[in-house]
Amino acid sequence: MSTSEPPGPPDPFRKEPSGSDADPAQPQPPYGQPPQGGQPPYGQDPYGGAVPPPGQPYGQMPPPPGEYGAPYNAGPTLGGSGRRFMARVIDTLIWFVIAFVISLAFVGTDTDDVSLGKQIGIGAVAAVLYFLYEGLMLNNNGQTLGKKAAGIRVVRVADGGSVQGSPSWIRAAVYVLPLILSCPGLVFWLINVLWHTWDQPWQQCLHDKAAKTTVIRV
């Protein structure tokens, strides 16, 4: 009765098969895919996520066109027209109270003798005050009092981050300061605030586009 020989020590001069001589039983990765434990091809998400189309920020996918409240970066949803309108109404009422107090300081309670120069001055001061209110509030946490009440926040489109610094002031300037120009400014303001109702995919007003921001629900 014969017994099998125990395996000897490995041959140091033996080469492992490679290429066409490799063991056919060993699975090979599909064409264009990395071997197990390797790095993914350039431009592919190493975590298996979807790759954004050209022109979209890395790691973000745009919401489906035309969908109300579509997801923003697979997390928060866009603010929507109703909440944005409610926020503006609240902020405008606050601004109206401030503007009324300023007008009393300019002309008192007698409104029958108000010159055109005083009217322009009151309007300019009121617009600058709204600009300061809007810019300071957004620079703090991306919310005015109206936006807090409506449950929305202004964020950067690029990464959903804070709008502290220049984005908050650019957004406030494009929204408020054209009102100083009277009728042309009012026309621009109206187009501006309505722009988000047809804008895709981020539902931006023109002041959002200037500051590269959008509005999301909190």
Total tally of structural domains belonging to the chain? 1
In a domain, 185, yes or no: yes
Residue 38, phi then psi, degrees to nearest 5: -90, -170
Cα angle for residues 20, 26, 28 (degrees, 5° grid): 75
In a domain, 36, yes or no: no
pLDDT for the residue numbered 80: 92
Buried/exposed code over 17-40 (b: 16+ C-beta within 10 A; e: otherwise): eeeeeeeeeeeeeeeeeeeeeeee
Residue 63 burial class via C-beta count within 10 angstroms: exposed 0-12, middle 13-18, buried 19 and up: buried
pLDDT for the residue numbered 186: 87
Both tokens assigned to 51: 């790759």
In a domain, 39, yes or no: no
Tens-place pLDDT, residues 203-213:
999 999 999 99
Helix (H, G, I), strand (E, B) or coil at 147: helix
pLDDT for the residue numbered 11: 55
In a domain, 71, yes or no: no
Both tokens assigned to 133: 């209110």
In a domain, 54, yes or no: no
In a domain, 159, yes or no: yes
In a domain, 137, yes or no: yes
144: left (phi over 0), alpha (psi -120 to 50) or beta: beta
Integer-rounded Cα radius of gyration of the chain: 31
Residue 186 CB neighbours (<10 A):
12
pLDDT in tens, the chain (218 residues): 555 555 555 555 555 555 444 455 555 555 555 555 554 454 454 445 444 454 445 445 454 443 334 444 455 789 999 999 999 999 999 988 888 887 777 766 665 666 667 777 777 888 888 999 999 999 989 999 999 999 999 999 998 999 999 999 999 999 998 888 878 888 999 999 999 999 999 999 999 999 999 999 99
pLDDT for the residue numbered 123: 75
Q: Give the global pTM.
A: 0.62
Tens-place pLDDT, residues 164-200:
999 999 999 999 988 888 788 889 999 999 999 999 9
Residue 152, phi then psi, degrees to nearest 5: -130, 165
51 DSSP β-pair partners: none
Domain range for 102 = 81-217
| Chain-centroid distance, C-alpha 187 | 26
pLDDT for the residue numbered 206: 96
Alpha helices, H only, 177-205: 182-194
